[in-house]
């Protein structure tokens, strides 16, 4: 797996303090890069990691003849070590953009590499996969595009293998997914690459690899889930993905993750959470979901339950990802009386309120979900008061963030409208004083006054 334990790649050991410091620096650099829309730059992934060349020689640009020689040796050499060595040399050369260009222009080179990727010699497969890694790091779109035709073939060949075997096949599958994910992040991807990916069998293959169960290869699944996310958020043709059953597959995967993420030793499953949440949330916003019956599937109570289990997990392990889970919850509840009813009947309002103090972004999202429930009318608000909601709202009114307070005011309006008794209780619990704090705030004034009127005239 592309992870510390097995397979293709393994991290190098380091002292803890040093690691933390470096991580903070890297994180800052990545944030800066993303804001400048430079995060897709493959350079960033390798910037602090200059290759310590084995044997002390620096990788040089390879010419056509050299590439051909290495490929020939790799394919037909008699000694295993010789063949492996040829691929190592090729891989080093491929760090240079010039070599990459020469490689893709050479007839048959990609085919040979693909053949080596499916070799039954484990070491050759691994080295070939590393070559593919190098190519996928290219900034030049032609290089990335040259990798594409091989993908469908490789996916068929490699997907035949079951996940419980420790085999370089799995590492290769993962490398393929990673390479594809790099391709899909390119600036030109929505125009040039994604349409051809969508027209190929790749999406169906990817979805098959995302099907949950004991055979799930989590390393590959993570890479392909990110691929799917890049495709979906580019909004090229999500309706097509929906007809391929993307909503159904991702929904089942979500249930599976909720069921296993707490107990599982497999760190790979954790890594699936973020891309799966994103894919589902974005797909839900497509009209085609209604037509494809996706809404019906997602009304299944187990889906909303899974979201909460994952929210709990995120709170413990990755609180900065909570907004992603809440985004899905918003899209699930916005237009669904059934799911809002589930939230109430399964007693999930209280846990939701427990997330309010985490951050302003999280607060706003939590309040938005609660508004989704409240806006459906008196039958829903009846379950919101009496209860922990009003005390929580009185708390949020003490926050200074305008957006949080604003959303609290929206919720109060709905609550007072559909459950007038709540307005009474609000007054009795010093609600007016809480409102007064915000009387001067430009963005909040009108709503504050309106609420004061409503509360006093009940």
Partner 1 sequence: MQLPPAVHARLAAGPGAAEPLPVERDPAAGAAPFRFAARLVRFPREHEFFEEGDVQRHLYLQDVLTGVAGVPERPRVPEFTCQMAGCCQVFDTLEDYEHHYHTLHRNVCSFCKRAFPSGHLLDIHILEWHDSLFQVLSERQDMYQCLVEGCTEKFKTSKDRKDHLVRHHLYPGDFRFDKPKKSKGPATSMAAMEVSTEALGDDGDTMEVCSEHVTPPPEPVGEKRSYRHRSV
Q: Which of 149, 195, 387, 420 touches partner 1 (CB under 8 A)?
A: 149
Buried b (16+ CB within 10 A) or exposed e, 70-102: bbebbbebeeeeebbbbbbbbbbbbbbeebbbb
DSSP label at 193?
A: I
Instruction: Select the span of 57-65, 96-104, 274-282, 423-431 touching partner 1 (CB under 8 A).
Output: 274-282
Q: Which of 109, 138, 342, 408 touches partner 1 (CB under 8 A)?
A: 342
Choice between 63 and 264, CB closer to partner 1: 264
Choice between 97 and 351, CB closer to partner 1: 351
Find the distance separating the first CA and the last CA of the chain, reported in whole Å: 62
* 154: number of Cβ within 10 Å: 22
166 binds partner 1 (CB under 8 A): yes
Backbone φ and ψ for 257, nearest 5 degrees, come out as -65, -45
Distance of closest approach, residue 104 Cβ to partner 1, in angstroms: 15
446 binds partner 1 (CB under 8 A): yes
Residue 141's contacts (CB-CB under 8 Å, 6 or more residues apart) are: 186, 188, 192, 193
Distance of closest approach, residue 43 Cβ to partner 1, in angstroms: 12
152 binds partner 1 (CB under 8 A): yes
Choice between 61 and 233, CB closer to partner 1: 233
| CB distance 151 to 117 below 8 Å | no
Alpha carbon distance 236, 182 (integer Å): 17
401 binds partner 1 (CB under 8 A): no
Instruction: Select the span of 251-259, 385-393, 395-403, 434-442 touching partner 1 (CB under 8 A).
Output: 251-259
438 binds partner 1 (CB under 8 A): no
Distance of closest approach, residue 60 Cβ to partner 1, in angstroms: 17
Instruction: Select the span of 27-35, 66-74, 392-400, 434-442 touching partner 1 (CB under 8 A).
Output: 27-35
Choice between 35 and 428, CB closer to partner 1: 35
Burial class (CB in 10 A: 0-12, 13-18, 19+), 338: middle
Distance of closest approach, residue 65 Cβ to partner 1, in angstroms: 22
| CB distance 67 to 60 below 8 Å | no
168 binds partner 1 (CB under 8 A): yes
Measured between alpha carbons, how far is residue 114 from residues 82, 144, 146, 158 in Å?
19, 14, 12, 11
Q: Which of 331, 392, 396, 408 touches partner 1 (CB under 8 A)?
A: 331
82 binds partner 1 (CB under 8 A): no
Instruction: Select the span of 59-67, 139-147, 405-413, 431-439 touching partner 1 (CB under 8 A).
Output: 405-413
Measured between alpha carbons, how far is residue 450 from residues 377, 405, 413, 439, 455 in Å?
20, 14, 9, 11, 9
156 binds partner 1 (CB under 8 A): yes
Q: Which of 96, 334, 420, 424 touches partner 1 (CB under 8 A)?
A: 334
Quick one: how far is CA 300 from the chain centroid?
A: 22
Choice between 8 and 246, CB closer to partner 1: 8
Measured between alpha carbons, how far is residue 328 from residues 28, 46, 276, 399 in Å?
27, 33, 10, 25
Instruction: Select the span of 28-36, 56-64, 395-403, 432-440 touching partner 1 (CB under 8 A).
Output: 28-36
Instruction: Select the span of 44-52, 139-147, 391-399, 419-427 touching partner 1 (CB under 8 A).
Output: 44-52
Distance of closest approach, residue 411 Cβ to partner 1, in angstroms: 8
Backbone φ and ψ for 357, nearest 5 degrees, come out as -75, -5
Instruction: Select the span of 63-71, 110-118, 391-399, 420-428 touching partner 1 (CB under 8 A).
Output: 110-118
338 binds partner 1 (CB under 8 A): yes
In 375-442, alpha helices (H):
378-381, 389-396, 402-418, 420-428, 431-436
Choice between 366 and 394, CB closer to partner 1: 366
Q: What residues from 218 to 237 belong to the interface with partner 1 (CB under 8 A)? A: 226, 230, 233-235
Q: Which tokens is 339 given?
A: 């799911």
């Amino acid at each position: 797996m592309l992870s510390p334990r097995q397979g293709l790649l393994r991290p190098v050991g380091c002292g803890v303090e040093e690691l933390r410091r470096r991580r903070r620096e890297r994180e800052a650099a990545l944030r800066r890069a993303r804001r400048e829309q430079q995060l897709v730059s493959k350079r960033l992934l390798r910037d602090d990691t200059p290759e310590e060349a084995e044997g002390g020689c620096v990788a040089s640009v390879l010419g056509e003849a050299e590439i051909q020689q290495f490929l020939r040796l790799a394919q037909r050499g008699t000694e295993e070590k010789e063949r492996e060595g040829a691929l190592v040399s090729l891989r080093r050369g491929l760090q240079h953009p010039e070599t990459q260009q020469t490689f893709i222009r050479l007839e048959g080179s990609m085919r040979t590499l693909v053949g080596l990727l499916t070799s039954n010699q484990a070491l050759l497969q691994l080295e070939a996969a590393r070559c593919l890694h190098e190519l996928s790091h290219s900034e030049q779109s032609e290089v990335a595009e040259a990798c594409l035709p091989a993908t469908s073939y490789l996916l068929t060949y490699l997907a035949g293998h079951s996940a419980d075997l420790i085999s370089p096949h799995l590492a290769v599958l993962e490398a393929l997914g990673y390479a594809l994910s790099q391709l899909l992040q390119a600036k030109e991807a929505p125009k040039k690459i994604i349409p051809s990916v969508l027209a190929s069998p790749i999406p169906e293959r990817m979805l098959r690899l995302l099907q949950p169960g004991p055979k799930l290869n989590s390393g590959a699944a993570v890479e392909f889930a990110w691929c799917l996310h890049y495709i979906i958020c580019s909004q090229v043709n999500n309706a097509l993905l929906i007809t391929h059953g993307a909503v159904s597959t991702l929904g089942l995967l979500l249930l599976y993750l909720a069921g296993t993420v707490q107990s599982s030793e497999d760190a790979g499953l954790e890594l699936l959470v973020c891309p799966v949440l994103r894919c589902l949330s974005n797909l839900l916003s497509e009209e085609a979901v209604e037509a494809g019956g996706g809404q019906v599937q997602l009304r299944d109570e187990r889906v909303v339950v899974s979201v909460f289990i994952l929210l709990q997990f995120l709170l413990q392990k990755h609180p900065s990802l909570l907004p992603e889970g809440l985004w899905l919850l918003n899209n699930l509840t916005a237009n669904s009386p059934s799911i809002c009813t589930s939230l109430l009947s399964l007693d999930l309002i209280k846990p939701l309120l427990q997330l309010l103090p985490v951050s302003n972004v999280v607060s706003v999202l939590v309040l938005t979900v609660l508004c989704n429930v409240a806006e459906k009318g008196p039958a829903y608000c009846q379950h919101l008061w009496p209860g922990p909601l009003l005390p929580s709202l009185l708390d949020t009114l003490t926050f200074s963030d305008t957006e949080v307070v604003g959303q609290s005011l929206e919720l109060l309006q709905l609550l007072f409208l559909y459950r007038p008794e709540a307005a009474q209780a609000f007054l009795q619990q010093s609600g007016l004083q809480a409102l007064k704090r915000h009387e001067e705030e430009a963005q909040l004034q009108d709503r504050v006054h309106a609420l004061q009127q409503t509360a006093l005239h009940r």
